[in-house]
Structure 1
Amino acid sequence: MKLKYVGESFGVDSLTNGRVYECLGLEYPGLLRIVDDSGEDYLYSPINPRPMDGSAPGGRWEIVEDDAENTLSRVINTSVRTN
């Protein structure tokens, strides 16, 4: 699964605007496990990925490649509707 981050870039090894990232899957409670610029995997929000310390406003995900079960579409679209 692949997602493109759209928003303000933050951190040296976090997320960069316009870059495509690999999503390894979902983690409880509804977070995405993303391989970010550090090359390591970390948990990010499906609706407003941003730094935990609130130092940047974050952004959003655009789905580039989903799995056969449309996991990303379901999680991102459900999260957007409930917030």
Structure 2
Amino acid sequence: MKVRYVGTTFGFGIDGLTNHKIYNCIAIESPFLRVIDDSGEDYLYSAINPGEFEGESEGYWEIINDNKNRDLFKLMNTNKK
């Protein structure tokens, strides 16, 4: 599965997410996505409001490639605010 992060860049290439970058999503652990981030390691990020843990983030994911069961689509549309 692949997702694009849209929001404020944070971590600056160390252990964060970059605006408009496409990431591999290796697992869904509802309500989180396990994503290979800029560090090259896998971390959990909110499926609905990804970003830094401190404070509110205005970021979101765009689905680039879902699995055949459409699990990303289901998770993101079930848990919307």
TM-score of the superposed pair, with normalisation by structure 2:
0.90
Matches of 1:11 and 1:23 in 2, distance apart?
Answer: 18
Partner of 1:3: 3
1:75 aligns with 2:62: no
Residues paired across the two proteins, number:
79
Alignment of 1:1-83 (within 5 A): 1-12=1-12, 13=14, 14-27=16-29, 29-54=30-55, 57-80=57-80, 83=81
- The alpha carbon displacement at 1:57 in A equals 2.5
State the one-letter code of the partner of 2:41: E
Matches of 1:59 and 1:20 in 2, distance apart?
Answer: 14
Moved over 4 A (4+): none
Matches of 1:73 and 1:57 in 2, distance apart?
Answer: 20
Unaligned runs of 5+ in 1: none
Q: Deviations over 1:9-51 (max 9, x none)?
A: 0112210000000001112x42110000000000000111011
Matches of 1:34 and 1:18 in 2, distance apart?
Answer: 15
Secondary structure of residue in 1 paired with 2:77: helix
Where is the helix percentage greater, Structure 1 or Structure 2? Answer: 1
Q: Is the 8 A contact 1:2 1:64 kept in 2?
A: yes
State the one-letter code of the partner of 1:35: I
TM-score of the superposed pair, with normalisation by structure 1:
0.88
Superposition RMSD in Å: 1.3
